[in-house]
Amino acid sequence: MEKKTEQIREMLSFVIPCYGSELTIEAVVEEIRETMAGRPEYKYEIILVNDSSPDQVWQVLKRLAMEDDRIKSVNLARNFGQHGALMAGYQMAVGDYIVSLDDDGQTPANEVFSLLDHLREGRYDLVYGVYDHIQQTAFRRFGSWVNEKMSEMMIDKPKGLKTTSYFVARRFLIREMLRYQHSYTYIGGLIFRSTQNISTVPVKHRKREVGHSGYDLKKLFSLWFNGFTAFSVKPLRAATVIGVLCALFGVLFGIYTVIKKLVYTTQIDAGWSSMIVAVTFIGGMILFMLGIVGEYIGRIYICMNQAPQYVIREIVSQEAVQAAPDS
């Protein structure tokens, strides 16, 4: 009887960032309700975060919150990106386990207990739901592949570990992630710097029925660069290595020119073309390295000015409709 009481006290917090999901978010919420009804030993809450979506999703989120006391809807003051919206939702979550999933219905909410049961049985800190076959465009698949490889190189992601936006984490891990107060948020970096006790469970990735992905090339590049500069100094080290290689190339090319002059008695070409190429190449690399250093300095400056991860304009629930303080 005591064990059953302990199980009843455990709660799941579903955190869902919403952007362009006016036509899909209700189906996601309903799927969560149906799934949780099959496991009555768990309580749950659903935190829906509107990341300043251009459609009417906020009206839908407000209505859902007023119809169900287990739902809290959060409206951000502007678009802070998926990771900023997740941090806003994590801040409000009170569950023993936090579930992150998408708002477009592609992530199977009805498989959440496959992740949770695996997490509990293996005593893992976090379990990702990974897809055997991804229902995405070739561009998005390529972007995901690049993200995986660069994460392994830059932020010490375990080699071969697949990651997605669908995962279940223990509360202590989310609490540790919330200690990060700077504006450049990257969920993967926060996870990997906190734990390596991570596992995966295969789940089905559904085909997108409505709309399209909110990530274009610009947003994907910004996300990658954000994660690597916020949680790794390896780009600076890479710049140092490139600088050394360029200098070595210059020395070797100079030695080659001297030897060529001594060996060949005929007049050799002054080499204006090769000189221009060398100067352009080395100058470009110097500017590239200065750009990386400048990016780090700029981010330090912005963080010193305490730019927020997110700003909450409004929170709607059955308990209260209130203006939230600045994050």
Q: How far apart, in Å, are the Cα atoms of 295 and each of 209, 217, 284, 292?
A: 39, 19, 16, 5
| Strand partners for 99 | 14, 168
Residue 27 is predicted with a pLDDT of 94
Q: What does the longest C-alpha to C-alpha distance in the chain come to?
A: 98
Q: Is 49 in a helix, a strand, or coil?
A: strand
Residue 33 is predicted with a pLDDT of 96
Residues of the chain with pLDDT under 70: 1-9, 133-156, 208-234, 236-237, 250, 257, 261, 264-274, 276-277, 280, 301-302, 320-327
pTM over 0.85: no
Residue 323 is predicted with a pLDDT of 46
pLDDT 10s digits, 118-127: 999 888 999 9
Q: How far apart, in Å, are the Cα atoms of 159 and each of 12, 55, 279?
A: 29, 39, 38
Residue 170 is predicted with a pLDDT of 96
pLDDT 10s digits, 181-236: 887 788 888 898 889 899 999 998 877 666 555 555 566 566 666 666 666 666 76
Residue 221 is predicted with a pLDDT of 62
Write the single-letter amino acid at 243.
Answer: G
Write the single-letter amino acid at 178.
Answer: L
Write the single-letter amino acid at 67.
Answer: E
Contacts of 117 (CB under 8 A, 6+ apart): none
Q: Where are the alpha helices (DSSP H) in the chain?
A: 2-9, 25-37, 57-67, 81-92, 112-122, 138-154, 171-177, 187-192, 217-231, 234-263, 272-304
| Strand partners for 13 | 45, 98
Residue 173 is predicted with a pLDDT of 96
Residue 6 is predicted with a pLDDT of 44
Residue 92 is predicted with a pLDDT of 94
